[in-house]
Amino acid sequence: MNIKDLKTAFFQRYGQGDASISGELHTFFAPGRVNLIGEHIDYNGGFVFPAALTIGITAIARRRQDNTIRLYSLNTEQEVLVDTLGEMNFEEKDGWGNYPKGVFQFLSREGYELGGYDIMYWGDLPDGAGLSSSAAIEVLTTFMMLTLESEKTPVLASTAKGGEPIDRVWLSKFCQQVENRYIGVNSGIMDQFCVALGKKDHAILLNTDTLAYEYVPFQLKGYSLVIMNTNHRRELADSKYNERRAECDQALAILNDKYQYRDLCSASLEAVEELIQDETLRKRAIHVITENQRVIQAIDVLKQGDLVAFGQLLNQSHHSLQEDYAVTGTPLDALAHASQQQPGCLGARMTGAGFGGCAIALVKNENVEAFKKNVSAIYSEKTGLKADFYPSQIGEGVYQSETFERQA
């Protein structure tokens, strides 16, 4: 759906309005994100390596002359009404609308006196597939409100005002608080950070503890990053996540009977082979250490523009996640293995927590259509499920754009 269609839908819902009274239309976009490599190592002292996508969520907003915010999603066809002078508390019935409501409530607590708006959202991110649709709508809504309210709100120390750029690190921290304390999901900061600070043709090497980060060039040069949704519910992800964390803690405790490693990523493979007798714990440690090494190797090869080598690292990452960390499952394995065999595919792996959600593949542009057709057929035959495919480039973090021009 292009910006013209979105504006048409907006006018059909909320009328043409009077620009002299209601204000002009303002268009904003926030991307989804994907962690390119480095899975299940952030809680073991490693780095995350996400990138913003060119698929995401768009919002069109227009001022009202009262204190009502009308939120409408073209995806769910649900409208949520918000009184900015009220409590704006979480309500189950409001579904997706709780994400912007949380933003409004927390901005109000920061000192913003929000006015009324009509806001329409539309996204091409698959919900619940691990591409951070929740972070996208949180960052999008916050950025939009900070931008539109900056003219009439007193300067706050937390955000740059008076024509200065919005502090995007603060933006990511703010949205993480909305997710943690309003929505009630105890997420880390990677999702909001990448959506807020993404950069075209670059991935972000991020230390989630210190928020120190580095942009690493990632130019696809005739290739697309194909996101593949298993459409399989991630039923085991939470319980297995807690289990893996406990196993990593056990492995580190065994190693530190002799050594004094700061975290599991700092340990050596030699020490693991020497001290950890339990096969399961040994495998978990091997994945953590080698995956962290793959992140470091990925940075080197991407700085050299070597996509072939990066694709090989993707394959190695999936193999480790399958064999050593055991967080893939049949649907993700079927997608990754089928992808790795296709012409024009440099590499593929699961991304995210595992046990469902998404895989990614690096595919030559001219092969994308055949790739989707072939992988879809193999996946359906092996699992009985239908996969969805979302070719993307590496794009910018949240931004305002009246023309809303995005790469396909």
Q: How far is CA 351 from CA 39, 121, 336, 348, in A?
A: 7, 26, 10, 9
Active site residues: 191
Contact 229, 390 (CB under 8 A): yes
Euclidean distance between CA atoms 179 and 130, whole angstroms: 15
Euclidean distance between CA atoms 225 and 321, whole angstroms: 20
Radius of gyration of the chain (CA): 22
Euclidean distance between CA atoms 196 and 140, whole angstroms: 8
Euclidean distance between CA atoms 146 and 348, whole angstroms: 38
- List of E strands, 158-209: 202-206
Euclidean distance between CA atoms 34 and 288, whole angstroms: 19
Contact 27, 401 (CB under 8 A): yes
Euclidean distance between CA atoms 276 and 294, whole angstroms: 22
Picking from 12, 93, 127, the residue whose alpha carbon sits closest to that of residue 60 is 12
Contact 178, 106 (CB under 8 A): yes
Q: Which region, left, alpha or beta, applies to residue 364 given φ > 0 means left and ψ of -120 to 50 means alpha? A: beta
Contact 310, 301 (CB under 8 A): yes
Picking from 56, 36, 38, the residue whose alpha carbon sits closest to that of residue 47 is 38
What would the two tokens of residue 154 be?
């007193």
Residue 121: strand, helix, or coil: strand
Picking from 39, 75, 46, 47, the residue whose alpha carbon sits closest to that of residue 59 is 75
- Sign of the Cα pseudo-torsion (183, 147, 67, 403, in order): negative
Euclidean distance between CA atoms 53 and 124, whole angstroms: 11
Q: Which residue type is seen at 400?
A: Q
